[in-house]
Amino acid sequence: MEPVASARTTKRLPLVKIAESKLPTPFAEFRITVFRAADDKEHVIVSLGDLANGEPPLVRVHSECLTGDALFSLRCDCGFQLQSALATIAEAGRGAVLYLRQEGRGIGLGNKIRAYALQDHGRDTVEANHQLGFPADAREYGLAVDLLHFLGVQKIKLMTNNPLKVDALVTHGIEVTERVPVQSGLNPHNESYLRTKADKMGHWLTLP
């Protein structure tokens, strides 16, 4: 866990709450809340416990990954990270996963699979995105700030390996009191992908 700084800005995105319910899982019984944002997509908070009071809660800002989260793909570590975050939050008794609909680091499912095809022919994940005309990471995190404000949370323990995610939340006014590593799911199919994230994107990863 690493302490980091905080900053503030006024940027906000409009949100509309759509629905809320219990969400029993193998890890714990969470609360699921669905919002529609300005991008006309439905984004989700999966939360446990009273987050507005007490010490900063554990928070995972997780971008949608259909292949990893739902189809058990071994090409990435997304599904493993999501399950690890839910298990860690359940063990702590408090926390939240903010599930943002930013598939493929913001380029969409179809383009992600196009990038996979390029990786099948020797490109790494950054080179594939660039060849398709996209940045290495096209995600935006102002929405995560609005979701945290809905929860009444201004300070968090952020579960991430991504320095850009820390910087984005801090720039949007969230105080990140600790960084909690979320490293899991290393396998022969994603080792090169994870190494590229570490070497080219600066992710905090410990690899063999």
pLDDT tens, 47-97?
A: 999 999 999 999 999 999 999 999 999 999 999 999 999 999 999 999 999
Q: How many residues belong to the chain?
A: 208
Q: Which amino acid is at 34?
A: V
**What is the phi/psi pair of residue 172, to 5°?**
-85, 10
Cα separation, 186 vs 30, whole angstroms: 27
Could you say which of 137, 179, 195, 199 is catalytic? 137
Mark the binding-site residues for GTP, compressed into ranges: 60-64, 81, 103-105, 125, 160, 165
Q: Is the pLDDT of residue 3 over 70?
A: no
- Pull the structure tokens for residue 113: 């699979």
Collapse the DSSP code of 60 into the 3-class scheme (helix H, G, I; strand E, B; otherwise coil) and give the result: strand
Cα separation, 197 vs 183, whole angstroms: 12
Q: What would the mean pLDDT of 40-49 be, rounded to a whole number?
A: 96
**Residue keyed to tokens 């599930």:** 99
Mark the binding-site residues, compressed into ranges: 60-65, 76, 78, 81, 103-105, 125, 160, 165
Active site residue 36: no
Q: Is the pLDDT of residue 163 over 90?
A: yes
Active site residue 94: no
- Give the rounded distance of the alpha carbon of 60 from its chain centre: 6
pLDDT at 208: 84
**Mean pLDDT, the chain, as a whole number?**
92
The full set of domain ranges for the chain reads 16-102+139-201, 110-137
Domain 16-102+139-201 part of CATH 2.60.40.2470: no
List strand residue ranges (DSSP E) for 73-205, in order: 95-100, 155-159, 175-180
Predicted structure pTM score: 0.91
Could you say which of 75, 94, 114, 139 is catalytic? 139
